[in-house]
Chain A
Amino acid sequence: MSTAPEQPQTVTASASPEGLWTIAWRQLRRNRLAMICLTILCVYTATWVYAEGVYWSAKIRGAVPDYKISHYENRNQPPSLPHPLGTNFAGRDNLKQLIQGTRIAFELGLLTSLIVIPLGFALGALAGYFGGKLDSVIVYLYSVVASVPDILLIMSITYVTRAAVERSAAMQSVTRYIDAGLLSICVGMGFTGWVGLCRIIRGEYFKHRERQYVLAARALGASNASIIFRHIMPNVSHLVIINFSLRFPGLILTEVVLSYLGIGIAAEPSWGTIINDAKQRLWLGNWWELAGATIAMFFLVLALNLFGDALRDALDPKLRIAEGKTA
């Protein structure tokens, strides 16, 4: 029971994915810290589902969600029984804001992954499976992207995407449903974040394409597409989950910085905007806004980091170095 086990587990990445997950789960179950983190993550996920419910039920009814209604007479109240985390500048309950912040954080993670996972996986699989010229091109592509300092690239892409979204008439129907800021952040982080996943997947396909089961499938006349998706993919898909759980905390922390730089989320309460708004009132003694957002972020990021580590150790301990520094 530890965060990083002593012995690199010689997990046999066999052709049976159930076996892999069963072994991993058994190991995780013995890791008390990982179980605590998993519980925390479940609580957050439930909160997220609840927040989506609040948001969409209001949207469908054409009403204004509760968390967006101001009670100016109640503004900047310290914590009390009806408002356990006090109220903000407009007299809105901070707890409700934080719950919506959880929604934004998860949406951020998922939307970003909608770019990262298909892009990273597809390019990685193609490069690793086919090798040769295609591989060189893809390796070149990600070496180039990896060469640009992360934060600068995220900032630049977010900033120009924001400008493009604002200018484009076509995007205005989209931004009625997704906050323009959220959209541009996701684009920024998505087109920056696929490199890590692509590298790992490429390495795995490279190894797997010479394995017995793949050679056998090929001998039986399976097409390349079928080998890539039907045969190899189930054996490497756990890496996507590990990669996601380790990338997610970084996204949440980066959103705070982007919001500070004024290229963050505009009209919804994200943790980043809550922290940045709280900044102005902290010095008046209104500590509860900052404390609430910091704590809400802290436990999610902590749980994701620790659980991601445990998951990685359980599923594929050899990945530790290949990933480099996380966060």
Chain B
Amino acid sequence: MSAYVIRRLLSVVPITIGVMLITFFVFRVVGGNPAYRIAGKNATPARIAQISHERGYDKPLFLNFRQFPTQLLDAQFPQLCSNLLRLDFGRSFVTKQRVSTMLREGVGPSLCVTTPLFFIELFLGVGLALLAAYYRNTWIDRSLVLLSVMGMSISSLVYIMLAQYWLASVWRLFPVWGFESPRYLILPVLVGVIAGVGGELRFYRTVMLDEMYQDYVRTARAKGVSSRGILFHHVLRNALIPILTNVIIAIPFLYTGALLLENFFGIPGLGRLTVMALFNFDDDVVFATTFIGSIMFVLFNALTDIAYTWADPRIRLK
């Protein structure tokens, strides 16, 4: 068991390096010298050179052969790696704040929105999927599927705008904007659920229908177990594995926050932080959120595998 855990955890390392490479490639190689974006107004060539120098953008990208071999690693990528290993994401050039501080401040508000959103969506999605699976191929199932696909066909931007207009400003049921008390969270969560539940329902329904055609279900039915019994005791139980995989993989997204919701409803979380950074050309912040989101995804993926093995050692053999 422990050998497996170690092996699985070690497999995280190359993926992490890959993620570093890809984010590095996008921001420094494709994007060119960020100093141009940072320098902004009144940027003299001297200023750009100075920023490049201070932030090390004038160094070679991967390895420094100019000062071989003493300073071989004095290049952009090795330095980025060593900074990231020390969890140092640098300093936002806009606010001159440590990026890690900005991220820490944003996590709380993001979780306040995404956690309830996530659970309501999950339970509603699984519940409706059970309903659809139970009544499969009746009008109930069909209308649920059609409704969910219809729901998925409208831009979430439109949901947000309509909800803000009708629910918040015309009917005055909720505050329009802000993050002052839990009351302010109701509307963003509600909109998030409406916009997202369609996709969840459709996915879980597929999962359950797949289980329904397994041999053990046929056996159970042959033994005379009631439809409801099959659904709850057999199908749901076995569908839990794919459901949980889906759930755990979604956890990093709790952290990265909901970009649009946070931005429209004034939630000072990571989603809003990322969007603002994008507007301000704050490369280091966009880089950090992208990187952390990815690393969490990789880690949670590994943890899921390990957790399964811990829960059910047979899985390892698959």
Q: Which residues of A contact B (CB under 8 A)?
A: 2-4, 6-8, 140-141, 143-145, 147-149, 151-153, 155-157, 159-161, 163-164, 167, 249, 253, 256-257, 260-263, 275-276, 279, 282-283, 290, 294, 297-299, 301-302, 305-306, 309, 320-321, 324-327
Contact = CB atoms under 8 A, between A and B. Distances in A.
Contacts of A143: 15, 18
Contact of A147 (B31, B154, B259, B297): B297
B290 A148 contact: yes
A7 B149 CA distance: 22
A301 B153 contact: yes
B15 A294 contact: no
6 contacts: A4-B145, A149-B294, A160-B32, A163-B32, A167-B32, A249-B152
A224 B260 CA distance: 48
Contacts of A306: 146, 149
B56 interface: no
Contact of A148 (B31, B260, B278, B294): B294
B15 A305 contact: no
Contact of B30 (A164, A302, A321): A164
**Which applies to chain B's interface (DSSP): helix, strand, loop or mixed?**
helix
A149 B293 contact: yes
A155 B154 CA distance: 20
A262 B137 CA distance: 44
Contacts of B161: 279, 282, 290
B149 to A, nearest CB: 5
Contacts of A156: 23, 26-27, 286-287, 290
Given A3-B145, A301-B153, A157 B26 contact: yes
Interface stretch (B103-111, B199-207, B218-226, B303-311): B199-207
B155 A149 contact: no
A136 to B, nearest CB: 10
A149 B256 CA distance: 9
B165 A282 contact: yes
Given A143-B15, A306-B149, A294 B259 contact: no
Given A3-B146, A141-B18, 6 more contacts: A4-B145, A147-B19, A147-B294, A159-B31, A160-B32, A320-B206
B15 A159 contact: no
Interface in B1-55: 14-15, 18-19, 21-23, 26-27, 30-32, 36-37
Contact of A305 (B27, B149, B253): B149
Contact of B31 (A160, A257, A297): A160
A262 B278 CA distance: 9
Interface in B278-312: 278-279, 286-287, 289-290, 293-295, 297-298, 301
A163 B37 contact: yes
**Which applies to chain A's interface (DSSP): helix, strand, loop or mixed?**
helix
B256 A327 contact: no
A2 B138 CA distance: 10
B30 A161 contact: yes
A94 B287 CA distance: 39
Nearest to A168: B32
A294 B158 contact: yes
Given A149-B253, A282-B161, A306-B149, A159 B286 contact: yes
A275 B155 contact: yes
A160 B36 CA distance: 12
B127 interface: no
Contacts of A8: 213
A7 to B, nearest CB: 7
A164 B32 contact: yes
Contact of A321 (B26, B210, B287): B210
A305 B256 contact: no
B128 to A, nearest CB: 15
Q: Which 8 A-B pairs have the closest CB atoms?
A: A144-B18, A160-B31, A301-B153, A302-B153, A148-B294, A149-B293, A256-B155, A152-B290
A263 B293 contact: no
A6 B36 CA distance: 58
B317 interface: no
B274 interface: yes
Nearest to B18: A144
Given A144-B19, A144-B22, A6 B137 contact: yes
Nearest to A187: B30
Contacts of B153: 249, 297-299, 301-302, 305
A305 B199 CA distance: 11
A266 B152 CA distance: 26
B237 interface: no
A144 B152 CA distance: 28
Given A7-B213, A161-B30, A257 B293 contact: no
A268 B166 CA distance: 30
Nearest to A255: B155
A167 B36 contact: yes
A45 B142 CA distance: 27
Contacts of A147: 15, 18-19, 294-295, 297-298, 301
